[in-house]
Amino acid sequence: MRILVTGGAGFIGSHLVDALMETGGEVRVLDDLSAGSLNNIRRWLEDERFEFVRGDMRDFETVKRAVEGVDVVFHLAANPEVRIGSQSPELLYETNVLITYNLLNAIRNSDVRYLIFTSSSTVYGDAQVIPTPENYGPLEPISVYGGAKLAAEALISGYAHTFDFKALIFRLANIIGERSNHGVIYDFINKLRRNSEELEILGDGRQRKSYLHVSDTVEGMLHIFEAFRRESKLVDFYNLGNDDWITVREIAEIVSEEMGLNPRFIFTGGVDGGRGWKGDVKFMRLDIEKAKKTGWRPRLSSREAVRRTVRELLKK
- Is residue 83 scored above 70 in pLDDT? no
pLDDT of residue 148: 95
- Is residue 303 scored above 60 in pLDDT? yes
Tell which residue, 205, 181, 210, 300, has the closest CA to residue 256.
205
pLDDT band of residue 15 (cuts 50, 70, 90) is very high
pLDDT band of residue 86 (cuts 50, 70, 90) is low
Percent of the chain scoring above 90 in pLDDT: 94
pLDDT band of residue 80 (cuts 50, 70, 90) is confident
State the Cα–Cα distance between residues 241 and 142, nearest whole angstrom: 20
Grouping H, G, I as helix, E, B as strand and the rest as coil, residue 53 is strand
The answer to whether the beta carbons of residues 248 and 188 sit under 8 Å apart is: no
Q: Pseudo-torsion of CA 1, 79, 16, 110, nearest 10°?
A: 0
State the Cα–Cα distance between residues 66 and 56, nearest whole angstrom: 11
Sheet with 283-284, strands from edge to edge, namely 246-247, 208-209, 283-284
pLDDT of residue 154: 98
pLDDT band of residue 8 (cuts 50, 70, 90) is very high
pLDDT of residue 81: 74
Query: Is 136 an annotated catalytic residue?
Result: no
- Is residue 85 scored above 60 in pLDDT? no
pLDDT of residue 153: 98
pLDDT band of residue 79 (cuts 50, 70, 90) is confident
Catalytic residue among 145, 159, 211, 238: 145
Give the domains, in start order, of the chain with CATH numbers: 2-175+212-240 (3.40.50.720), 178-210+243-314 (3.90.25.10)
pLDDT digits (tens, 9 = 90+) for 219-256: 999 999 999 999 999 999 999 999 999 999 999 999 99
- Average pLDDT of the chain, as a whole number: 96
What average pLDDT does this structure show over 30-45? 96
Alpha-carbon separation of residue 213 from 99, 117, 190, 249, 277 (angstroms): 26, 18, 20, 19, 24
DSSP code of residue 86? G
Distance of CA 226 to the CA centre of its chain: 19
- Is residue 84 scored above 70 in pLDDT? no
